[in-house]
Amino acid sequence: MSSTLLTNCHLVSPDVELENAAVLIENGKIAAVIEAGGDLPAADETFDAAGRMVVPGFIDIHTHGANGADASNGSEEQVRIMAEAKVREGVTSFCPTTLTLPQEQLVGIMEGIAGYQANQDWAKAPKVHIEGPYINPNCTGAQNPAFVRDPDAAELLELHKIAPVGVVSVAIEMPNGVEFVAAMKEAGIATSAAHTAATFEDFSKAKEAGLNHLTHFCNQMTPLHHREIGMVGAGLVDDEIKIELISDKIHLCPDMLRLVWKLKPVDQLMIITDSMSASWLPDGEYDLGGLAVHVKDNSARLGNGALAGSTVRFYECFKNTLEVTGLPASEVVKATSWNQAQSLGFEGVGKIESGFQADIAVLGGETFQPEAVWVDGVRKV
């Protein structure tokens, strides 16, 4: 495999920010990071980053679709369309995310994802995020209430045999909820509380059983109240639970984003898009799990006004977070890839450091839209 040298990089990696740095890629991995003034090694190809920000490839662990494709449409080609769109966002790994659907349909979806996993030619899709059907019927949001059911570990593990599940979102207060969390921990699958009316006591029991995450924080979960802090309060007060943040400034207003970043340890924050098929497409009428969605002004909603995922692109989430928090890029970048990798056991990704996979994005100008992206050392954009 040929070698590539990225020069004139504004390199941003967890706890690292270097101007005029260079990165050497060899055999799909980062062979060296050279600080300003260091001797540059020879390489087969050279890419001049021209002072632009160079970051670890983003990891989107919660995305339903993009560019007209939906992971729940159940075909390998749909996942491939998503993967190509995700690469253009700077995403080098993603978890195709399902919806609340019948088991036989979920089996077909997993078969399609497994087909793409066998031939990953754009962004990598190492694991799947199962969101639903194990949710509270009173907290469905944009999930289809017709297919909601109680947590069923045997059913989930049947899907896990087809394509590896990285995380499953579940309403922990439902019958068998805590037992389900424990079973997933034993299977090596992360659990994330979602579409839930759980109390803080419910949260505490589930966490003891192995609960890892909170799905799309603040959305479709018990709100903060001064006599019952609920799931939002749990996410803020617990320094060990990781939380997903849809950083589109719609699902969480800028003030809420600022509050979360002020109160939570950065290592427990994970930026996601929760994107649906309308991402990368114009306003109009779309479908999400059999429910009609109207997209206008970057907001995707059902007829009743409920938010139905997002149309945001990952690089926009990164840019939004930097603007809202005012934090250094070397801090915020932890929530774009490294934290996700640590949570789901993705090894050798999430940093620009010698020995790591060469998953790298070069962000362009004021918009941050990537101008070049490498996946395992192969340039895709």
Binding region for Zn(2+): 131, 195, 216
Binding site: what residues are annotated? 131, 195, 216
Which helix (H) or strand (E) segment is 235 a member of? helix 230-237
Round to whole Å and give the CA distance between 333 and 342.
Answer: 14
45: left (phi over 0), alpha (psi -120 to 50) or beta: beta
- Give the largest CA-CA distance in the chain: 64
Round to whole Å and give the CA distance between 118 and 127.
Answer: 12
User: What is the chain's alpha carbon radius of gyration, rounded to the nearest angstrom?
Assistant: 20
Q: Is 274 a catalytic residue?
A: yes
- Complete DSSP assignment for 247-259: -SSSSS-HHHHHH
Of these residues, 202, 274, 359, 376, which one is catalytic? Answer: 274
- Alpha helices, DSSP H only, in 61-213? 76-88, 103-117, 153-162, 177-187, 200-209
Round to whole Å and give the CA distance between 15 and 80.
Answer: 33
- Complete DSSP assignment for 311-367: ---HHHHHHHHHHHH---HHHHGGGGTHHHHHHHT-TT-SS-STTSB--EEEEETTT
Query: The tokens 């007829």 sit on which residue?
Result: 303
User: Which residues belong to the active site?
Assistant: 274
